[in-house]
């Protein structure tokens, strides 16, 4: 009687999809995972990358459910293996949507100071002065953050990036839900308005400055309105420079979007900035999103308006 041969492990289910959540420590991964749980995802936090394939094989034997996996720098020793693993999964037909959460160093330092939690790489970041940094808590924290950025740089390049520097938890939860609901095989184009006085979004692929255009803020009856309001739209559309800039941005994006599709990018963020993030940038984001809706999956974000500022 021949001995039983070992069974071949089940491959990951073709056509299945996972959301991979990663990013800089302190940028909001816990909030993002909770948002995905609320949206019906089965979430696994800090799964070692070398266990990813085995986990998906086990999932292939169960009833279909949406999966979200968080991987962070705590698995630093395994991170070099993660990108090849993701490439192999995609080659096998598994849809992987990688979302990278980022934030400015200033915002991260503030968050760690408020929570008094140590950075996971604090013991590895000694700074240029070696032991001198150990006596300077802030310097050590900044060094740890910069080291983490270096370790995760290659993963950030192949991910959809969300800059959480200015986001409240409720905003991040909403943006995460929008991203995963829009997730399909087509390029997702995100049009994001922002205020320059609060900084340029770190997640922007293209940034267009519309501050040179006439400002509705200085029209008394328009000051309390936003770029979503018809009266503001009429005011801006009466200005030839507004129409010219709008057409030029439209033409530029039409010219280069196919290149991003060919590069198999999952998303492209187009940031439009004005002084207060209320009128001009909001109007441009709304109009461009409507124009491109028939060509791509589009999302609209208004960083300042969504925050209630």
DSSP string over the chain: -PPPPPPPPPPPPTT-EEEEEEESTTSSHHHHHHHHHHTT-EEEES--GGGHHHHHHHHHTS----EEEE--GGGGGGGGGHHHHHHHHHHTT-EEEEEEEE--HHHHHHHHHHHTPPPTTTTT---TTGGGGGG-HHHHHHHHHHHHHHHHHHHHHTSEEEE-TT--HHHHHHHHHHHHHH-SSSPEEEEEEEEGGG---TT-SEEEE-TTS--GGGSGGGTT--TTSHHHHHHHHTSHHHHHHHHHHHHHHHHHHHHHHHTT-SEEEEEEEESSSSSHHHHHHHHHHHHHTTTSEEEEEEHHHHTT-
Average pLDDT over residues 196-213: 95
Q: What is the pLDDT of residue 84?
A: 84
User: Is 232 inside any structural domain?
Assistant: yes
User: Is 84 inside any structural domain?
Assistant: yes
User: Is 90 inside any structural domain?
Assistant: yes
What pLDDT band is residue 76 in, cutting at 50, 70 and 90?
low
Give yes or no: residues 198 and 166 share one domain.
Answer: no
Q: Decide if pLDDT at 217 tops 60.
A: yes
Give yes or no: residues 102 and 168 share one domain.
Answer: yes
Task: Give the count of domains, the chain.
Answer: 2
Give yes or no: residues 153 and 199 share one domain.
Answer: no
Lowest mean pLDDT among 89-93, 188-192, 250-254: 89-93
List the domain range (segments joined by +) for residue 171: 17-182
Q: Decide if pLDDT at 190 tops 90.
A: yes
Mean pLDDT of the chain: 86
Give yes or no: residues 62 and 166 share one domain.
Answer: yes
User: Is 233 inside any structural domain?
Assistant: yes
């Amino acid at each position: 009687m021949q001995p039983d041969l070992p069974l071949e492990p089940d491959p990951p289910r073709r056509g299945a999809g996972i959301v991979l959540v990663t990013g800089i420590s302190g940028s909001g991964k816990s909030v993002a995972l909770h948002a995905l749980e609320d949206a019906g995802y089965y979430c696994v936090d800090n799964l070692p990358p070398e266990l990813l394939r085995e986990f998906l094989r086990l999932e292939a034997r169960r009833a279909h459910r949406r999966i979200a996996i968080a991987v962070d720098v705590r698995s630093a020793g395994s991170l070099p293996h993660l990108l090849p693993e993701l490439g192999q999964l995609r080659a096998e037909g598994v849809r992987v949507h990688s979302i990278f959460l980022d934030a400015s160093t200033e915002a991260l330092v503030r968050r760690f100071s408020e929570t008094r939690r140590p950075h996971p790489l604090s013991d590895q970041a000694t700074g240029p002065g070696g032991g001198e940094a150990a006596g300077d808590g802030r310097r050590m924290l900044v060094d740890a953050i910069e080291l983490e950025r270096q370790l995760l740089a290659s993963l950030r390049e192949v991910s959809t990036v969300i800059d959480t520097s200015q986001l409240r938890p409720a905003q991040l939860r909403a943006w995460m839900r929008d991203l995963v609901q829009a997730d399909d095989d087509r390029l997702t184009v995100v049009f994001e308005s922002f205020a320059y006085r609060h900084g340029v979004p770190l997640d922007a692929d293209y940034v267009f400055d519309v501050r040179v255009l006439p400002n509705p803020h200085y029209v008394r009856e328009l000051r309390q309105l936003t770029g979503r309001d018809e009266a503001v739209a009429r005011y801006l559309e009466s200005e030839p420079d507004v129409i010219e800039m709008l057409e030029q941005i439209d033409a530029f994006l039409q010219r280069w979007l196919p290149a991003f599709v060919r590069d198999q990018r999952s998303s492209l963020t187009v940031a439009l900035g004005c002084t207060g993030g209320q009128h001009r940038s909001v109007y441009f984001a709304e109009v461009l999103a409507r124009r491109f809706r028939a060509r791509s999956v589009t999302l609209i974000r208004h960083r300042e308006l969504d925050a209630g500022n």
